[in-house]
Structure 1
Amino acid sequence: MATFKAIRIDKADKGTTAALTQFDEAELMDGDIAVAVEWSTLNYKDGLAVTGKAPVVRRFPMIAGIDFAGTVAQSSHPNWKPGDKVVCTGWGMGETHLGAYAEKARVKGDWLVRLPDGLSAREAMAIGTAGFTAMLAVLALEKHGLSPQAGPVVVTGAAGGVGSVATAVLAKLGYHVIASTGRMSEGDYLKALGAAEVIDRNELSAPAKPLGKERWAGGVDSVGSTTLANLLSMTKYGGAIAACGLAGGMDLPSSVAPFILRGVCLLGIDSVMCPLALRKNAWERLARDLDRAKLSEITHEIGLDQVIGMGSKILAGQVRGRIVVKIV
């Protein structure tokens, strides 16, 4: 039986182990599409999985990796045929379904999105789940009614994957972007992405007041915890914050004051089980509204053999922008 290269995670006496090894094709899970994986990426959740820092993986053995871009090799699904270029993000890949850090994947055809015209597989994974999540947040803010005329928007964790793409997209759409980061040395990088202002995350790290000075009309938060509580307390009347991450913690030490006294909305963003129609819209918008030159500038390429080591760095906040993983 054929084997292929993959990053395999196994249960250990204490926690989990991760290693680049040969995986038996017979162990692939059910699905009506077989894909030759060409590119993946490294997201915060991938870092948690390969380091074992959080119980992301729910079955063993597991192939890590929550997103991929590649070419359909075999299909029994009516919408797909061999040779089609596809993108797959979420749906439990790398958690409950064998994932993307492998030369082969077998998934459900209903999970796939066609690679947008003009976007290469590498560019799609330079965007990856992080960039896709950022665009879902932008779409949610637009649905709420936010526009550049409403006032500034804030992006937390701005030098990371979600934050970098959110900053670039919002700036291109005409927003005055306030980028919050714990790495003020990245100020020039963030301004090159389009940020009008860069603030230290310490401004948002103290215990939140029920209501603070109104500073922004909306925002994209990938940090959670006290940071999100501060964002909400400083949001202008009728504004909204799109929450999509928990790098700072899962708690939310806030109050009802922003919601009942300023009409602020907290918009929850989920990229894992996101409906297909919304996925297609997000990818179409990314192909249109994300500056490819800026995307190239924020992208760093690694091989499969570097993923595990880089997983620790992304958790430590030592990764700027996006990392693409070359599979073959």
Structure 2
Amino acid sequence: MQALLINKDAAGYTAQLGQIKEAQLPQGDVLIKVDYSTLNYKDSLAITGASPVVRSFPMVPGIDLAGTVEKSDHADFKAGDKVVLNGFGVGEGHWGGLAQMARVKGDWLVPLPSAFTSKQAMAIGTAGYTAMLCVMALEQHGVTPDKGEVLVTGAAGGVGSVAISLLAKLGYTVVASSGRVEETDYLMSLGASKVMDRNELSEKGRPLAKERWAGAIDVAGSHTLANICASMKYGGTVAACGLAQGYDLPATVMPFILRGVILAGVDSVYRPKADRVAAWARLAKDLNPTQLDAMMTEITLSQALDTAQGQIDGRTRGRFVVNVNA
């Protein structure tokens, strides 16, 4: 079967399309025929070697997959079931979804909601599932549409695209922050009320700025996250889920102790199964499926190799769905 394989040896680091056998797949109690996978930022880091994402070699990358159960020794799944997997170290320490077959632990799987096809589920993928977790975090901390504007950074990326669509459908006024002004029409079509240049937030700012945001979803970290916190309204919440600008946080405690701002960290990799099921149920209910096509670009396994560097360089938009059988 076809698979992307990452290797590291004396000759160096390589990522290439190759052939694997079912017997080579790692241990697990569920065997899945993969329909579609995705190319996430983390997958591109793994493929290009830009960051030490991969923890063992050889490795099949792909932190997402959607497909059909072929064999199962897990009580919750049987042959023929449609399933989706996001995270749990798949594609980092356990062979992932950028292959035609995968063997994984059944505890990592979520039944595919009937509202979505496998392709649509991967148009959502970890990025969209993370965006839903972020929206749920804002809701849990009392950020409602009447409270004011909600900022989304990295707006043209996977998390940002889905977050804008979700928030707009739920009635929020969304401001999209992006480094690509040429994507303004795309972002407005998803539901953004306005688009701002990310440079307004990316440099060192004041420890406390004018109150503006009722809520925010941030994928950047570093100065961007610090500036967002400094300009939150009293009692506002920031859902932080990424570090595209950096893993540092050059901020002060002033927004937290003077305005009661909440910084809610959102992890999607090891999220408990109940939260995953709830997030996918909300996606089935609250995501506008007609907008998935606008967010999605379908590519093949071989094209994933070429696309990875563009994603690292910030030259791509939306979601990349990988047809592993094309």
Counterpart check, 1:100 vs 2:119: no
> What displacement does 1:47 show?
0.7
Q: Percent identity?
A: 57
- 2:313 is aligned, of 309, 313, 316, to 316
Counterpart check, 1:224 vs 2:221: yes
CA offsets per residue over residues 29-70 of structure 1, 9 Å max, x none?
111000000101111101100000000000111001000000
> What displacement does 1:209 show?
1.2
Partner amino acid, structure 2, of 1:269: V
Name the residue aligned to 1:16. 13
Alignment of 1:266-305 (within 5 A): 266-305=263-302
Counterpart check, 1:196 vs 2:172: no
Counterpart check, 1:118 vs 2:112: no
Name the residue aligned to 1:67. 64
Secondary structure, aligned partner of 1:211 = coil
Name the residue aligned to 2:131. 134
Counterpart check, 1:89 vs 2:86: yes
Secondary structure, aligned partner of 1:282 = helix
- 1:252 is aligned, of 230, 249, 253, to 249
Name the residue aligned to 2:210. 213
Q: Return the alpha-carbon distance in structure 1 between the equivalents of residues 128 and 115 of structure 2.
A: 17
> What displacement does 1:206 show?
1.8
Q: Which runs of 5+ in 2 are unaligned?
A: none
- 2:45 is aligned, of 45, 48, 62, to 48
Secondary structure, aligned partner of 1:189 = helix
Counterpart check, 1:262 vs 2:259: yes
- 2:35 is aligned, of 35, 38, 42, to 38
Q: Return the alpha-carbon distance in structure 2 between the equivalents of residues 9 and 259 of structure 1.
A: 43
Name the residue aligned to 1:161. 158
RMSD: 0.9
Q: Return the alpha-carbon distance in structure 2 between the equivalents of residues 257 and 240 of structure 1.
A: 14
Partner amino acid, structure 2, of 1:233: A
Secondary structure, aligned partner of 1:138 = helix
Q: Report if the CA contact (8 A) 1:208-1:253 is conserved.
A: no
Partner amino acid, structure 2, of 1:298: M
Partner amino acid, structure 2, of 1:10: N
Q: Report if the CA contact (8 A) 1:15-1:52 is conserved.
A: no
Q: Return the alpha-carbon distance in structure 2 between the equivalents of residues 113 and 142 of structure 1.
A: 23
Partner amino acid, structure 2, of 1:262: R
Secondary structure, aligned partner of 1:19 = strand
Partner amino acid, structure 1, of 2:213: W
Name the residue aligned to 2:178. 181
Q: How many residues align?
A: 325
Q: Return the alpha-carbon distance in structure 1 between the equivalents of residues 128 and 180 of structure 2.
A: 20
Q: Which runs of 5+ in 1 are unaligned?
A: none
Q: Return the alpha-carbon distance in structure 1 between the equivalents of residues 10 and 150 of structure 2.
A: 46
Secondary structure, aligned partner of 1:63 = coil
Q: Return the alpha-carbon distance in structure 2 between the equivalents of residues 174 and 154 of structure 1.
A: 14
Secondary structure, aligned partner of 2:239 = strand
Partner amino acid, structure 1, of 2:172: Y
Name the residue aligned to 1:172. 169
Partner amino acid, structure 1, of 2:307: M
Q: Which runs of 4+ in 1 moved over 4 A?
A: none
Partner amino acid, structure 2, of 1:319: T
Change (3 A) 1:13 1:234: farther
> What displacement does 1:27 show?
2.1
Q: Report if the CA contact (8 A) 1:171-1:194 is conserved.
A: yes
Name the residue aligned to 1:239. 236
TM-score of the superposed pair, with normalisation by structure 1: 0.98
Name the residue aligned to 1:78. 75
TM-score of the superposed pair, with normalisation by structure 2: 0.98
Secondary structure, aligned partner of 2:2 = strand
Secondary structure, aligned partner of 1:38 = strand
